[in-house]
Structure 1
Amino acid sequence: MARITCPNCEAKATITSRETQSAHVVNLYCSRTNTNEYGATCRITQSFDHFLNPPFRTIAQLAASLIKNLPREE
C-alpha cells in the first residue's frame, strides 16, 4: 500500500480525489490530515513504469508464441 506524504513537511496526507489521465497515469489530489492548521493541498502524478516480474500468463503466452514460431526442425 502506498503512503502519501506532504512534499513540504513529509507528514501524512490523504487522497481526496483522483483524475485519470490515461491507462497508466493518474493525478492524485491530496491534503494534509490537519488542514485547519496547515492548509496544504497538492497534486501528485502517479504512473506505471514497468513490471519487475511480468504476470505468469504473459510469460506463458510469450513462451507459447516463441515455440509456435520455431522452425519444424527445432
Structure 2
Amino acid sequence: MFATWGRLVYRLRFTVIGVMVALMLGLGAYGLGLENNLSQSGWDDPGSESVAAAKLADGTFGRDTNADVVLLYT
C-alpha cells in the first residue's frame, strides 16, 4: 500500500509540489485578516489565583499588557 502511494507521489512529484504550494498560498491568503478576529480575552478564569496574581502584578509594577517585546539593556 505505501509502496504504491510512494510510486504515485514520485511519478507525480511536480504536480504534488504545485498543489501543495497552491494550497499553502491559498491558506495564507485566507488567513490574512485573521488577526483582527482573534483576541486573548475569554481564556482566563476570573476567579483563579493566577488571574488575581497577574492583576496584582500589573497594578504593582505598572505592566504594559499591550507590548509585544521587552528589551533590557545594561
Q: Same fold per TM (> 0.5)?
A: no
> TM-score w.r.t. structure 1 length?
0.23
Q: Which structure has the larger Rg over C-alpha atoms?
A: 2
> TM-score w.r.t. structure 2 length?
0.23
More strand by share: 1
More helix by share: 2
